[in-house]
Structure 1
């Protein structure tokens, strides 16, 4: 069931989005050689709790941390560890959620560690831009397929693959609500977008094949061919005047 948000609920979601986006910005600044993903997770959790919010991911479905931190060929759901040390040239995808007054802000970004290869930079650039292509398509009256088609067209035209096993989603009082928001699709197909809908658009784009595999821990998901993956996400609201990004730091 799709839940349309009231103006008051959207205010709570904006605040949750601000907290989660600031936590993400803090985490991104820590992406430096020699820093562990565990240290980044601890800092993000501390910041979220200091703002009077809760780390949405912590304990969600049994997830043991406050942020998913995915390095290089890890697509999503990387578990922070003291032994996972970031190195020069890595690309690090960080996904963070914060819950404020019962509503969720969910966002992700892929950060370079120092100077990365031209190929890694191109993948990050294309994935980031595909997110904004998807957001531009998220106008009232359009359909979910218009969003996915925009992401897919942009990235596949540049030789990349769109992950099919994981998709975006509705977001609100729960982190995952209806509808599903795939990063691929057919224009004019799927659920119609209505004012009051809130969704998380999150392209997960691979340098090589689209197939992924989940490791023995049940969470960490990597590219099937060991090539790089990038992940960018914003939570947005559908309004009569166009899409509004809820996960902005200011």
Structure 2
């Protein structure tokens, strides 16, 4: 789309092109001409969209805070599902996982050797020493947000505490690697460097993803990237970073009974933390956590 300076900007801001994205486009086009991979326009969120995503994230963050207050030994994972579902609905939101591609619940609860997409059930009881990932995603007025946290139940072994903490630090390293006009490969490179140092592996079958107007958008965010490679990160991009770190090998299989839950092939434990982040002119803003 070729725009004149006084045309309305393509981003939907309703501002004139010359006051909005004209300089941005010149920079992006220059990089593309040099052979770099650049994001398409539909990956760039405008101010109104960013505010909508942030409002969704406010509910998402509070829902995870509720779980942090209430999670305990003896709780079944269906109780976690009910807390998330009821709270999200009470705030005017919609649980994004519910009925997404047939997923039957409002939240993912993945315990110990389960990597992701664990399905809540009254039959799954949290025990002393368990580690659990609670992955919450929210829709509010058509805007999506997504985040997950690990919870350590009761007396967790030092070995498993270390896994949880390294996984959390791997997310922090990935977020810190995000720079405006930097490379998407820098994220995975930072994550893999840390996990390699600690003798862990990074799951390769899943990664982060664009989010905001849909649950899963481009780009795919690999957690094993190579520094200085991949798509250029530009202000206005919104995506998740969500490394899944295994104590053993990175290989996995999907539970044949429910066709959802990913489990470590070698039975080792897995930990994951997830943020939704916004690339800004000066760095990065964590929206959902």
Q: Report the TM range for the smaller structure's normalisation.
A: over 0.9
1 CA distance for matches of 2:265 and 2:273? 20
2 CA distance for matches of 1:30 and 1:75? 22
Asked if 1:177 is matched to 2:201, the reply is no
Aligned to 2:129: 89
Shift of 1:203: 0.6
1 CA distance for matches of 2:155 and 2:223? 28
SS of the residue 1:21 aligns to: helix
Aligned to 1:56: 96
Q: Is the contact between residue 59 and residue 65 of structure 1 (CA under 8 Å) also seen in structure 2?
A: yes
Aligned to 1:157: 197
Q: Is the contact between residue 135 and residue 147 of structure 1 (CA under 8 Å) also seen in structure 2?
A: yes
Asked if 1:127 is matched to 2:167, the reply is yes
Match of 2:260 among 205, 219, 240: 219
RMSD: 0.9
Asked if 1:41 is matched to 2:81, the reply is yes
Q: Is the contact between residue 31 and residue 112 of structure 1 (CA under 8 Å) also seen in structure 2?
A: no
Q: TM-score w.r.t. structure 1 length?
A: 0.97
What does residue range 1-250 of structure 1 map to in structure 2 within 5 Å? 2-216=42-256, 217-248=258-289
2 CA distance for matches of 1:163 and 1:84? 24
2 CA distance for matches of 1:110 and 1:10? 26
Shift of 1:139: 1.2
Shift of 1:27: 1.9
Aligned to 2:26: none
Shift of 1:34: 0.7
2 CA distance for matches of 1:138 and 1:27? 29
Of structures 1 and 2, the larger Rg is shown by 2
Relative contact order higher in (CA < 8 Å, ≥ 6 apart): 1
2 CA distance for matches of 1:88 and 1:37? 14
Instruction: String of CA shifts for 1:207-247, please: whole Å, max 9, x gaps.
Output: 00000110111101100011100010000000011100011
2 CA distance for matches of 1:186 and 1:3? 22
Instruction: String of CA shifts for 1:69-94, please: whole Å, max 9, x gaps.
Output: 00100000000000000001100101
SS of the residue 1:190 aligns to: coil
Give ranges in structure 2 of 5+ residues lacking alignment: 1-39
Instruction: String of CA shifts for 1:41-97, please: whole Å, max 9, x gaps.
Output: 011110011111110110111100010000100000000000000001100101000
2 CA distance for matches of 1:89 and 1:116? 4
SS of the residue 1:109 aligns to: strand
Q: TM-score w.r.t. structure 2 length?
A: 0.84
Q: Is the contact between residue 204 and residue 230 of structure 1 (CA under 8 Å) also seen in structure 2?
A: yes
